[in-house]
Homo-oligomer: A and B are copies of this chain.
């Protein structure tokens, strides 16, 4: 039996309190910067544009030469230059007359509108001035940001390192994926692969290790030897059985903050710290692993990686009633058909195929006993 079950919210708060944004940084080339977060303000060494640039197709002119030009009283210029959008406007000109406002008459240009200085010109530094802060520390780099750096000839940037996450699956019946045929009683270790892929998607740098047997000393030694990581995820052996060592090791080596959470599935999740490093023990049943990944690991990683904890959510109407255990936060897998959500019927947290049939999940709060048919729900997409 668990000594004391924590509520899902309290467990998350306890975890996030122990997760600090990573302070280490690294310098990366432009092509590796998407979705990374700047660890320094970025300054520009140059002006953008670097020259007065034509903003229209037409003719570069001296604006004072066009004074009082009107359709019924054009002016005629000797000094002008045909120019196209994006081209350099030589210093001797200070405005562009648009194509439709001028006609070439032999060597002269007939102009029918007056232009003022810098009309239709993108001035030097109009976008960015030399010495200006281009982006601030903490900025998440999206493709147009990277284009801006490239335009300024900034070829690399210093960004925060991604949180390094050790993933330690446990269980003596487990065999690394595809490494050999299974003997009776064995299974492939698949939670580690799933966790690895999510850690990557959520901004972390995963380090997946081979399964560790259910042995106190081996599990403890694996945890201890990865305390240089930013987070440790232990999978399996988190319940209250004789060989569920992970929570015990947390108590011995550090602080076991939470052991057992009122969520379904995912109850045997444990959370603690060792040497100020967050350690999350995920239950070994894959559907429970998945619940705890979404409810706890995601937020923790996003905080450490300084990324917004945004999720893809769609609204849908429940086709059928869903029951849930009162006092527990329930994660129900649903399949979407247009704007209708239907519960994927399952008999246990071991049934991974139920997730294959689901598009996402809905969260039923602790204070509800379920949801009625016809209720609108928010579906978080897998």
Contacts and interface: CB of A to CB of B under 8 A. Distances in A.
Interface of A: 1, 30, 34, 48-51, 53, 55, 57, 84-88, 99-100, 122, 126-128, 134-135, 139, 142-148, 150-151, 153, 155, 171, 173, 177-178, 181-182, 184-185, 187-188, 190-191, 193-194, 197-198, 201, 214, 236, 239, 241-243, 284, 286-287, 290, 310, 312, 314, 347-348, 350-353, 355-356, 381-382
Given A193-B147, A351-B126, A184 B51 contact: yes
A49 B349 CA distance: 13
B310 A310 contact: no
The number of times this chain is found in the oligomer is 2
A270 to B, nearest CB: 16
B356 A144 contact: yes
Contacts of A49: 187, 350
B356 A134 contact: yes
Contacts of A126: 347, 350-351
A190 B86 CA distance: 13
A30 B148 contact: no
Given A88-B184, A153-B182, A314-B310, A241 B57 contact: yes
B284 A85 contact: yes
A194 B352 contact: no
Contacts of A314: 310
Interface of A is mostly: loop
A376 to B, nearest CB: 15
A308 to B, nearest CB: 8
User: Which residue among A87, A155, A171, A177 has the maximum number of chain B CB atoms within 10 Å of its CB?
Assistant: A177
Contacts of A214: 84
B190 A150 contact: yes
B139 A356 contact: yes
User: Which residue among A126, A128, A185, A243 has the maximum number of chain B CB atoms within 10 Å of its CB?
Assistant: A185
Contacts of A34: 197, 201
A313 to B, nearest CB: 9
